[in-house]
Amino acid sequence: MNVDKAKKRIEKLAKRGFKGYPVVSFEYFGATADIATEVVVTFTSEEGAAPQAQKFASKTDAREDETIQSVLVKTIERTDASTVAVVEGVSIIK
């Protein structure tokens, strides 16, 4: 899937706000706020359930990595997520 198409799809789903469970959230991490070298995907199946997390890493910016963005879209589809949340910006890795 094209990077821009995947990013637009994720952004559109995230703009809907909370629609119930299951919830998939994405948070980008990097050494600086300019480049996200990691993305953590968190899945919560129902209220009160323990979240499951998976990390994907990239040598370049994960936000522009076609493979990672395609995996994020497929994760949303496969989990049948009602809510998609994206943490804005890049969190600094310490």
Answer whether residue 20 is part of any domain: yes
pLDDT digits (tens, 9 = 90+) for 49-72: 999 999 999 999 999 999 999 999
Does residue 23 register a pLDDT over 80?
yes
Answer whether residue 21 is part of any domain: yes
Answer whether residue 36 is part of any domain: yes
Answer whether residue 55 is part of any domain: yes
State how far the Cα of 58 lies from the Cα of 39, in Å rounded to an integer. 9
Answer whether residue 32 is part of any domain: yes
Answer whether residue 94 is part of any domain: no
pTM of the model: 0.90
Question: Which two structure tokens, joined as six digits, stand for 38?
Answer: 């990691």
Could you tell me the residue range of the domain that residue 57 belongs to?
3-89
Domain count, the chain: 1
